[in-house]
Amino acid sequence: MDRPRIGDWRGYAELTRLQDVHLAEALRVAARSPFYRARGDVPTNRAELRQVALTTKRDLRDAYPFGLLAVDRAELATYHESSGSSGAPTSSYYTAGDWLDLAERFARKRIAIEPSDMFLVRTPYALMITGHLAHAAARMCGATVVPADNRSLAMPYSRVVRVLRDLDVTVTWSLPTDTLLWAAAAAAAGARPDRDFPALRALFVGGEPLSPARRDRIAALWGAPVVEEYGATETGSLAGECPCGRLHLWADRALFEVYDPLTGRTAPEGRGQLVVTPLFREAMPLLRYNMEDEVEVAYGACGCGWSLPTVRVLGRTAFQSRAGGVPLTQTGLEELVFGLPAEFGVLFWRARAASSHLRVEIEVAEPHRAPAVAALVAAVGRTYGIDAEVVGVPPGRLVPLSLLTASADVMKPRGLFREDEDWDKALSYY
18 near Zn ion (CB under 5 A): no
Pick 66 or 299: Cβ nearer Zn ion: 299
Backbone angles phi, psi at 278, to 5 degrees: -65, 145
Query: What dihedral angle (degrees, nearest 10) is formed by the CA atoms of 65, 66, 72, 78?
Result: -40
Residues 6+ apart with CB under 8 A from 367: none
Q: 22, 109, 132, 246: which one contacts Zn ion (CB under 5 A)?
A: 246
d(CA 314, CA 335): 12
d(CA 24, CA 30): 10
Pick 246 or 369: Cβ nearer Zn ion: 246
Q: 244, 267, 318, 410: which one contacts Zn ion (CB under 5 A)?
A: 244
302 near Zn ion (CB under 5 A): yes
Pick 160 or 247: Cβ nearer Zn ion: 247
C-alpha separations of 381 from 321, 326, 336, 374 in Å: 17, 11, 11, 11
Scanning 148-156, 260-268, 299-307, 343-351 for contacts with Zn ion by CB under 5 A, the matching segment is: 299-307
298 near Zn ion (CB under 5 A): no
Pick 304 or 326: Cβ nearer Zn ion: 304
Scanning 81-89, 183-191, 245-253, 400-408 for contacts with Zn ion by CB under 5 A, the matching segment is: 245-253
1 near Zn ion (CB under 5 A): no
d(CA 162, CA 183): 12
Q: 304, 365, 398, 406: which one contacts Zn ion (CB under 5 A)?
A: 304
| Smallest distance, Zn ion to C-beta of residue 424, A | 57
| Smallest distance, Zn ion to C-beta of residue 310, A | 7
d(CA 66, CA 244): 40
Query: What dihedral angle (degrees, nearest 10) is formed by the CA atoms of 415, 418, 421, 424?
Result: 30
| Smallest distance, Zn ion to C-beta of residue 141, A | 21
Scanning 23-31, 173-181, 302-310, 330-338 for contacts with Zn ion by CB under 5 A, the matching segment is: 302-310
242 near Zn ion (CB under 5 A): yes
Residues 63-92 that bind Zn ion (CB under 5 A): none
Residues 30-59 that bind Zn ion (CB under 5 A): none
Taking alpha carbons only, the member of 404, 294, 320, 391 closest to residue 350 is 391
Scanning 51-59, 297-305, 343-351, 402-410 for contacts with Zn ion by CB under 5 A, the matching segment is: 297-305
Partner residues linked to 352 by β-bridges? 359
CA atoms within a 13 Å half-sphere pointing along the CA-CB vector of 143: 22
CA end-to-end span of the chain: 44
Residues that bind Zn ion (CB under 5 A): 242, 244, 246, 302, 304
